Every structure is written in C-alpha cells, then in structure tokens.
Chain A
Amino acid sequence: MTDHTQHSDGGDQVSADLHGLSGAYAVDALDEVERARFERHLADCAECRAEVAELQETAALLATDEVAPPPALRDAVLAGIETVRPLPPATGGDAPTDHRRARRRWRSGRTLLVAAAVVLIALAVGTAWLRPWAEDGGDTIATPSTTERVLEADDATRVRQDFPDGSSATVVLSRNEGHAVIVTEDMANAPAGRVYQLWLETPEGSMLSAGLMPDDPDTTLLLEGDAAEATAVGITVEPDGGSKEPTTDPIALFPLEA
C-alpha cells in the first residue's frame, strides 16, 4: 500500500481511510455519501486519482459480455445528440496545487449539481423511454436590450446561490423593468431527458413558468413573464419540454425582496 502523507484534509487516519476506498469507488460500490466524500478527497489526492484510473481500467476488463443493443437504440442516440451540445474542454491547465481548480476540473465531467444530486438521481430514474428530443428550449428568447436594461437598472437587486460543486447562479431583478434575469456560472447540464425549468412565484404563492434553461454552463437568460410582483424565482428539474407546473421541489430558490 502506498503512503501519502501530504494530505491536509482531516488528518492521517481519515486520509488513510479515504485512500482505502479507491477500489470500491472504481467499481461504483460506494453509497451516495461515501462517494461524495471520496470525490472531495480525489480532488486533492493525485495518487488516488491515478489509482482509481488504473482500477477502472482493470475493472473494465471484466466487462466481457457483448450484447448488441437493438438498432432502434442507435437511431435514438444519433437523433438525441442533435439536441445536445458537447461541452467545451475543461480549461485552466494542470495546477495540482490549486485545490479549487483541481476540484472543479475533476467534477466538471459530472452531470449533477452536487446540491441536487439526490433529487436528480431520484428523478433520472424511471424516465420512460427518452422522448425524441422535443425541439423545445428555443422559446426562451432573451432580447438583449431587455436583459441589458435589467442588468443595468438602477433598482436592480441580486440574489446569488452557490452550489457545493463550485457552480453558482444569480438572479437579477428589476421591479421597474418588470423582469428578472438569471446568470449561471459552471452550471452542470440537466440529466439526459430532463431540463432545468425556471419559475416565478406570485404573491398568491402560485408558480408560473418562466422558461427553460439551455444546457449551457455559463448562461445569461431573461426570465419569461412579469417579474414586477414576483416573490421568488425557483429552478426545478422537469422532463424535456418542461412542465405546466413544478413537478418536483426546487433545486434552487431565490427569494426576492419586496
């Protein structure tokens, strides 16, 4: 066994325990909590990253079964990618001493916002045969002028949410303009077959759809609808194409001052 003592996160005993999870992690045998904990460790432990990569490579050798999926699956996949934008490369280079960046880099391939992981995993399950990728998502057209007016309004207020995976979202509201804009940074895409949907909460407490978010980690989007009296902005995960009303608890809620 290798001995890595350069760890600062939590003492040698804790680190030693964490190193020992590399094998179970490589074959996805950790439960949710352990997995999240180990991934935090991975971000800072180059030796475990290397070991995990090797053990994943090793485990893959056990996947000797070959079963050709039905041709319809190929068609569905190739149709599906038409509406999915490939992520840009993770930039920022190798800076192993920069923990923040290392962590972000490591996690950048993950689909799920950590904050929402439990919710999203529950949702990603039981998706019916993924629908043929309805051509929604184009209906949240931000007219630059309105967006700019909101962002630069004298009465603009900002509510920011930071997520544990390093991503963030900020809602900018201008009561005078009657609109709100959301600005995301490093936001993970919604799971396949799902979409992030925006909502405006009315003073009466009902949620009105404010449009769908594109799968784009860094986006600036004008919310649809009248935000002059909205009391909150919410984001939920909905089936592709969105829902008439929220079908899940919000993964993020931005309370707006009156």
Chain B
Amino acid sequence: MDPARPGLDGVPDPGAPSGADLAALLNRSARGDRDAFARLYDATAARVHGLVLRVVRDPAQAEEVTQETYLEVWRTASRYDADRGSALSWLLTIGHRKAVDRVRSAEAASRRETTYHQRNQAVEHDVTADAAHASLEAKRVRTALADLTEIQREAVELAYLGGYTHTEVAALLDLPVGTAKTRIRDGLIRLRDAIGVGR
C-alpha cells in the first residue's frame, strides 16, 4: 500500500511524500532535524488528526491529543522500525493509543455514558460519509470491508474508530463477553488478507 496521502488544506504540497519519503523524514527527525519533522507533520497531520478527532470527538481535546502525539513522535522517532510497518501507520498507532487513553480516562467516563447511544448511531452514518471518499485506497478498503461479516466489520469499526474496549464492543453488539476480541481479530485478519498488507 502507499500510505502517503496528499491534500492538506491550505498547505502547499508539491508532490506528496511517498511512504518511503515519510520514513526518511522520520529518520531525519530522530537525528534532530526540525525541518524534516515539520515536513512530516505537514504530510501527515490531517490524517492523524482526522483519526484522533474521530475517536475523541471533542475538538479541543482532540487537538491536545494530536499535539501530544507529535511530541511523542519527535521524542521516539529513533524507535521507528521500518521492518515493522509504514511510517504513517506508526504515527497513527501512536495517535490512536493516545486518543483511546484520553477517552477512557476517568474524567471522560461520565461524559461518555451520555453519548454512548449517539455514537453507536454515528457508526452507521459514517459508512455513507466514507463512501464519498474519492481515494483509490479508500475504495479498496471499502471493498475489502464488504468481505467481512457484518459483526466482524462492526466490531472492528467500534473498536478502532469508536475507541471502545472489546468488552464494550461485546455489550454494544450483544455478543457474549469474550467473543468480541475474536471477532475483532478475525475481521482484521480478513481485511489484512484482502488488502494484502504485509505480504
């Protein structure tokens, strides 16, 4: 796959960096190259922030999480291992972990209770919204998602985009406790094989 994506609003982007370019920028950031890091930020911030916002929902909190994410990326850039995945996936993994930790905090817990239902509904709408996404990659993902069972797809999306634990996913989908983690794994593996990640 090609994780590089163009299209940063308002940022001139002469030739979006490829996945290899992003990895090179990350390596240079590890050596303290601030310009490289700025370019890395410009090339990835919309994607990272989009995911963080999707999970966190609250724009102000999402901005904090995105900021924390990039400071962490800067600090730990030397630990990126190209053998283990693309640079963009590495950034998104850090951002996702931070977003999830944020929504699971005790402080957010009470607020979440009230929006549980709303969020659950939002998952349905998002499918339609995403269908409008023009990129080829998104189309491939969409096609691959159709290969999953309904339960697998919902479990993966609730966990990844909703930021729910597998126990919460089980409750949301009326699955026996302990089975959602299997649905999530099976769904991801099927998706991986359909798209050909890591092959």
Contacts and interface: CB of A to CB of B under 8 A. Distances in A.
Interface of A: 20-24, 26-31, 49-50, 53-71, 73-74, 76-78, 80-82, 84-90, 108-109, 111, 121-122, 124-127, 129-130, 189, 191-193, 215
Contacts of B181: 20-21, 23-24, 29-30
A87 B78 contact: yes
B107 interface: yes
Nearest to A70: B63
Contacts of B182: 20, 23
Interface of B: 1, 3, 5, 7-11, 29-32, 34, 37-38, 41-42, 45-47, 49-51, 53-54, 60, 63-64, 66-68, 70-72, 74-79, 84-86, 88-89, 92-93, 96-97, 100-102, 105-108, 130, 133, 135, 137-138, 141, 156-157, 159-161, 163-167, 169, 180-182, 184-189, 191-192, 195, 197-198
Given A55-B188, A57-B197, A60-B3, A77 B79 contact: no
B78 A55 contact: no
A28 B169 CA distance: 12
B2 to A, nearest CB: 11
Contact of A66 (B37, B46, B75, B97): B46
B155 to A, nearest CB: 9
Contacts of B166: 24, 29-30
Chain B residues touching A, majority SS = helix
A183 B130 CA distance: 52
Given A31-B167, A77-B67, A126-B107, 16 more contacts: A20-B182, A23-B181, A23-B182, A24-B181, A26-B188, A29-B164, A29-B165, A29-B169, A57-B192, A63-B92, A64-B135, A71-B10, A78-B41, A90-B79, A122-B105, A130-B67
A90 B77 CA distance: 11
Contact of A109 (B8, B79, B86, B89): B79
B34 A29 contact: no
B184 A63 contact: no
Contacts, number: 227
Contacts of A89: 30, 78-79
A58 B79 contact: no
A66 B47 contact: yes
Contact of B101 (A82, A109, A124): A124
A76 B74 CA distance: 13
Given A27-B160, A53-B84, A69 B68 contact: no
B157 A62 contact: yes
A57 B141 CA distance: 12
19 contacts: A21-B181, A23-B182, A28-B97, A28-B100, A29-B184, A58-B192, A60-B86, A61-B197, A63-B54, A63-B161, A66-B7, A68-B10, A73-B45, A81-B34, A87-B76, A109-B79, A124-B101, A189-B75, A192-B72
